[in-house]
Amino acid sequence: MKRGLILILSLLCCSIKTYGFDLVYPAEKKNCTTSDYAFFYGQAKNGESISINDSGVHIAPNGAFAYTFKLKDGENRIKLKSDYGVQFFKFYKTTPTQQELPTETFEPKKAFVNSDNTPLRSTPVDAGLNRIGHLFANTSIIINGSQGDFYRVLLSKDKEGWIKKESVTIDTLGLRNTAEFISMDSKRFKNAVIQTISFTNILPYTVEDSEKEIIFRVYNPELSEDSVYSINVPKPTKYTYKITSDCGKYTLKVKQIPEKISDITVVVDAGHGGSERGAIGCLRDEEKDINLKIATELSQELQKKGFNVVMTRECDGNISLDDRVQIAKDVDADIFISIHLNSIGGNTEMDIHKNRGTGIYYFNNNSKQLAEILEKTVSSASGTRKDGIHTASFAVVRPTDYVGVLVECAYMTNPFDSVLYRHSDFAKKTAKGITKGIIDFINSK
């Protein structure tokens, strides 16, 4: 009797393992969410069909499937049916309440910035494309208002910025005298312009990459609300720039990307790694492994063409975003290519015909041209759809020290793409497409 029961149980387990679909997401049967969509993806086994609330789900030849279901407020019941059984899911959707935060205005106060690379933003929002400068530690600022987690920073009579409250210390003791201008200097080299401007204190600044020049502005509102020092440096067509500070002496260096391949250093960054697995595919493959395969092929392709190449990781291990950027700065990289595979977010309606293919992401104007070229060369080499060029505030492409793009080579959550990226030659084809794009960029006018 007991043996019979064990036999039945093991047969049951066996049949689930052999024939049942493998649902990667969601892992829970009951979910509370503020998302507009419930997202299901995974792998159907042995040609079984799957429906969600009686709608048929597209299944790729390798079994990969993905489906989104629009949620209504409150309780949603979802029936996931396969040839071998039915599973029920409950989603409870709540709508987040968004309250308008009041802006408070107060008498101007002096404050100091606590650490280097502190974002100065155009709006009191901790996200997106609203960065107007990155302030140095000990920058003297004047704050005259607040909203939520931010202080309002007075820059001049018609310019203000916003800085996180936790990033500054209010100068209650009046430790510093008002900053004074000391000197300004400009040096031109064959491939670079170096401009310096000095003050007795470290002051807030903004940098604007306009159509023809880099405009660097330093503000001294304590002296007067009109006290703005502006430096305009003409820029070449392919360029990088960086701002450094040494106790109030700012250096803006605008550099031309070298024309000879052997003079160009490319940093190849395999996204994620170690315990950071990145996206998980329909067939449970992990993004970090596919990124590394493509990055390794890319490094080899670029070296064959004569580029100097540095990889941020060559094996499976954790490496922080700051360290990836630091590696690129340490080797004075001209170009930074970050390799990733995409997935869809919680609030996106998955359209398997739309959310697929290769997307190119950049942050700064100096990287736009490379992004535009890569959009064409990568898809035509790897066979993916074009998923467009996008601006995004990703830490690895934010510095202006190099031309930086992040390539989302394909969607891990798309059944069509899963057939492509799992193919043995996908990494090589993608690497060749990126290499061609970089060479086209170097040769472009």
Quote the least distance from Cβ 98 to Zn ion, whole Å. Answer: 28
Residue 252: name the closest of 312, 326, 206, 196 by CA.
196
Quote the least distance from Cβ 227 to Zn ion, whole Å. Answer: 44
Quote the least distance from Cβ 374 to Zn ion, whole Å. Answer: 17
Annotate 5-48 with DSSP letters as a single string.
HHHHHHHHHHHHHHHS-EEEE---SEEEE--SEEEEEEE--TT-
Please identify, using beta-carbon distances, which residue of 269 and 297 lies nearer to Zn ion. 269
Residue 242: name the closest of 399, 406, 404, 135 by CA.
399
Quote the least distance from Cβ 292 to Zn ion, whole Å. Answer: 12
Nearest residue (beta carbon) to Zn ion: 340
Please identify, using beta-carbon distances, which residue of 273 and 278 lies nearer to Zn ion. 278
Quote the least distance from Cβ 343 to Zn ion, whole Å. Answer: 8
Please identify, using beta-carbon distances, which residue of 249 and 277 lies nearer to Zn ion. 277
For residue 93, give the amino acid letter: K
What is the binding site for Zn ion (CB under 5 A)? 271, 278, 340
Please identify, using beta-carbon distances, which residue of 164 and 340 lies nearer to Zn ion. 340
Helix pair angle (368-382, 426-443), 10° resolution? 140
User: Three-state DSSP class for 4?
Assistant: helix
Cis bond before residue 399 (omega within 30° of 0):
no
The number of helix segments (H) and strand segments (E) in the chain equals 6, 28
Quote the least distance from Cβ 413 to Zn ion, whole Å. Answer: 12
Please identify, using beta-carbon distances, which residue of 133 and 271 lies nearer to Zn ion. 271
Quote the least distance from Cβ 34 to Zn ion, whole Å. Answer: 23
Annotate 96-140 with DSSP letters as a single string.
PP--PPPEEEEEEEEEEE-STTEEEESSS-SSSS-EEEEEPTT-E
382 to each of 221, 361, 369, 404, 417, how far by Cα in Å?
Answer: 53, 18, 20, 21, 11
Please identify, using beta-carbon distances, which residue of 245 and 342 lies nearer to Zn ion. 342
Helix (H) or strand (E) holding 220: none
Please identify, using beta-carbon distances, which residue of 295 and 442 lies nearer to Zn ion. 295
Q: What's the distance, CA 321 to chain centroid?
A: 10
Quote the least distance from Cβ 406 to Zn ion, whole Å. Answer: 8
Quote the least distance from Cβ 288 to Zn ion, whole Å. Answer: 8
Quote the least distance from Cβ 340 to Zn ion, whole Å. Answer: 4
Residues 6 or more apart whose CB falls under 8 angstroms from that of 236 comprise 254, 256, 257
334 to each of 217, 233, 249, 369, how far by Cα in Å?
Answer: 25, 19, 25, 14
Please identify, using beta-carbon distances, which residue of 221 and 271 lies nearer to Zn ion. 271
Residue 139: name the closest of 32, 41, 248 by CA.
248
For residue 367, give the amino acid letter: S
For residue 225, give the amino acid letter: E
Please identify, using beta-carbon distances, which residue of 25 and 229 lies nearer to Zn ion. 25
Please identify, using beta-carbon distances, which residue of 269 and 301 lies nearer to Zn ion. 269
Cα 325 from Cα 1, distance rounded (Å):
65
